[in-house]
Amino acid sequence: MKKIGFIGLGIMGKPMARNLLKAGYPLVVHDIVSAPVAELVAAGAATGTSCADVAARSDVVITMLPNSPEVREAVLGPGGVIEGASPGTIVVDMSSIAPLASRDIAAQLAAHDVAMLDAPVSGGEPKAIEGTLAIMVGGPEPVFDEVKEILSELGASVTRVGEIGSGNVAKLANQIIVGLNIAALSEAMVLATKAGVDPARVFQAIRGGLAGSTVMEAKMPLILARNFKPGFRIELHVKDLANATDTAESLGVPSPLSAAVLQMMRSLAQAGHAHEDHGGLVQYYEQLAETEVRPL
């Protein structure tokens, strides 16, 4: 059984690491915040003193970090994974970062005979806890085959999309669709509420038709309950949509809807909602319409 290192124990990383422990994998963990490390050590993990130390004690190193700069620092910076990894070590970056950053980091690791996959996820905290994430993987197929069993402990679907960077391209596509779905849901339900129609009944009426979606099923009950506790924070969706629009611009691809939703989310983040769930996007519409989506 492969020894696994896990770097980044936030909202997503901590339950993912816990699921690997439950599956019986030897686990070494590291995070700049001590509390989640202590929780996982109490559950049976070992503590890594640095990213390099984690890599030196692992066959596979998983990173789950906020964005490209943090991944680059953890993997390539002083005391990083690259300093502790041996030839044959596999790095699986499960963060959502820019595809070009994944390719650059992978190239620098390859010079040390260390392989890398980019494997971002979708599903938020609930599916991270359940171990039912959707995992999108980019990288060499033989490397993917080596770690697919490990990733299957974290996700209900594990799909290799293509070469390195492809996983993050798939994640950008995912985040565009999710963000636009939340915006459409918000716009529609604020309209219904302002018109004096119970949004809870509208939800029941349309959820089984073509407008129904996983996004609606996940977010509408939370909106109705005014529960914006973060499963996936607005500030992280801002990051993903910024990466999406930057990538689109570099490729000459139009992305006007993504740009519009990005601006809405940035506006909310600047108004103090950055740490709320992205379902809180409804508040952007509510403020402009001077109404609140609640059961009538």
Residues with a catalytic annotation lie at 171
Cα separations in angstroms, 140 against 106, 114, 115, 164, 172: 11, 12, 9, 7, 20
Cα separations in angstroms, 61 against 16, 28, 283: 13, 9, 39
Q: Are 76 and 47 spatial neighbours (Cβ–Cβ below 8 Å)?
A: no
> Is 11 buried (19+), middle (13-18) or exposed (0-12) by CB count in 10 A?
middle
- Residue-by-residue DSSP string for 75-119: HHSTT-HHHHPPTT-EEEE-S---HHHHHHHHHHHHTTT-EEEE-
CA distance 64 to 7: 6
